[in-house]
Amino acid sequence: MKIMSVNAGSSSLKFSLFDMDKTLCIASGYFERVGLEGSFYTIKYNGEKIKEEVELPNHTVAVEVMLDRLITLGIIKDLEEIDGIGHRIVHGYTYDHSVIITDKVIEDIKSYADFAPLHNPAHILGIEACKKALPNVPMVAVFDTAYHQTMPKENYIYPVPYNWYTDYGVRKYGAHGTSHKYIAGRLSEILNTKNYKAIICHLGSGCSLSAVKDGICVDTSMGFTPLAGVMMGTRSGDIDPSIIPYIMEKEGLNAKEVVDMLNKKSGLLGVSMKYSDYRDIRNAIDEGDEQAILANKIFVNTVVKYIANYYVELEGIDALVFTAGLGENSSPARHDIISKLKVLGISIDEEKNKTIGEEIELTSKDSKVRVFAIPTNEELMIAKETLSLI
């Protein structure tokens, strides 16, 4: 069976097409600047990369071009080969599992726009565009928040007036759930058991950690929105909320403007004053840039604090996993984080740590906890969820 994973952004459309009989990605693509001038797409197939500028006034046209190229490039013979489409949905409120997309589900996703205003409306555009082009193909909504719905109430309720939760849905939801679920499943295969305790570190431009027991999420670092948790590329992570009205008064800004700065101008970028990409931070550190050095120290500290927190919460762990762009590919970041965890008996083999972009066990001989780098695959997870439902 062939399953397509789709991730629609406000001005973009990503897809991956899988042959699920072989668990193989046949092709993937990225349509950029949808609705803007200078739009183009890139498709990777059979070891080749095809790039073409094409007018993409909206998501409907982007989907039409995507399907046309799948045929003209010989990736599929006709559209009937596509058996299902899985859509990544950032916020699913209290949905705790993936679901077949119905009119009711579409209305629900629309109603959750307040929780993910940059994402959910874009996902709807992608769903409607695919529905128009392939009306008879079943579609599935795969929610980033679903995996974290297993958290106990004491871990997702904030210490604020309780009616904020009952009346307005103010609680911890988490994010990157599709990635965390994929890694939890892969870790179960590696350990050859479903009975384990682990901390998963999804570290990229966005970062989140989760505490996992027997494959189930019991806590996670992102909160009501993806702004909470550890320091990220441009996001602050946890701060004292009193800072917001203080800066509003000092800078003459409104709340939305301050939150926008916390989302887009903080984190590594805010502290370094130059770089949001961790690779640039490392290069600047090598050049002796004091702000980059400071940014890295803060980043490492925030990750270590969450690991230590979850280690205690889980009463010890069997495994610690690094994943996502930074977690998979930055040996220095992994070294700096692990170096602060010696008190917990966690250490890695520095020679093994030089390996990047591959699945590898990094554990040193004397470590009490097994440490892994495992590449995530959210697109494959979406395809698997879709296949299981259709």
In tens, the pLDDT along 131-168 reads 998 999 999 999 999 999 999 999 999 999 999 999 99
**Catalytic residue status for 144:** yes
Quote the percentage of the chain above a pLDDT of 90: 89
Range(s) of the domain holding residue 373: 191-378
Helices (H), the chain: 59-72, 103-111, 120-133, 153-156, 163-168, 177-191, 243-251, 255-264, 267-272, 278-286, 290-313, 324-329, 331-339, 378-389
Positive/negative CA dihedral, 9, 13, 14, 16: positive
With 80 as the cut, is the pLDDT of residue 118 above it? no
Residues 132 and 211 in one domain: no
What's residue 155's pLDDT?
98
Task: Give the residue-averaged pLDDT of 69-92.
Answer: 93
Structural domain count, the chain: 2
Do residues 307 and 299 make contact, with C-beta atoms less than 8 angstroms apart?
Answer: no
Residues 215 and 311 in one domain: yes
- Nearest CA to 200 out of 225, 173, 218 is that of 218
With 80 as the cut, is the pLDDT of residue 10 above it? no
Do residues 310 and 209 make contact, with C-beta atoms less than 8 angstroms apart?
Answer: yes
Is there a domain that residue 116 lies in? yes
What's residue 297's pLDDT?
98
- Nearest CA to 99 out of 139, 130, 126 is that of 139
Is there a domain that residue 226 lies in? yes
Task: Give the residue-averaged pLDDT of 166-172.
Answer: 95
Residues 219 and 139 in one domain: no
With 90 as the cut, is the pLDDT of residue 114 above it? no
Judged by DSSP in three states, 56 sits in coil
Residues 230 and 132 in one domain: no
What's residue 11's pLDDT?
81
What's residue 285's pLDDT?
97
What's the CA gap between 16 and 148, in Å, rounded? 24
Residues 197 and 59 in one domain: no
pLDDT band at 113 (very low <50, low <70, confident <90, very high): confident
Catalytic residue among 83, 103, 144, 214: 144
Is there a domain that residue 237 lies in? yes
Query: CA distances (Å), 166 to each of 3, 137, 163, 173, in order?
Result: 38, 37, 5, 14
User: What is the per-residue pLDDT across 58-67, written as a single tens digit (0 to 9) for each?
Assistant: 888 999 999 9
User: What is the per-residue pLDDT across 199-258, written as a single tens digit (0 to 9) for each?
Assistant: 999 999 899 999 999 999 999 999 998 899 999 999 999 999 999 999 999 999 999 999
What's the CA gap between 289 and 39, in Å, rounded? 37
Is there a domain that residue 197 lies in? yes
User: What is the per-residue pLDDT across 295-320, written as a single tens digit (0 to 9) for each?
Assistant: 999 999 999 999 999 999 999 999 99
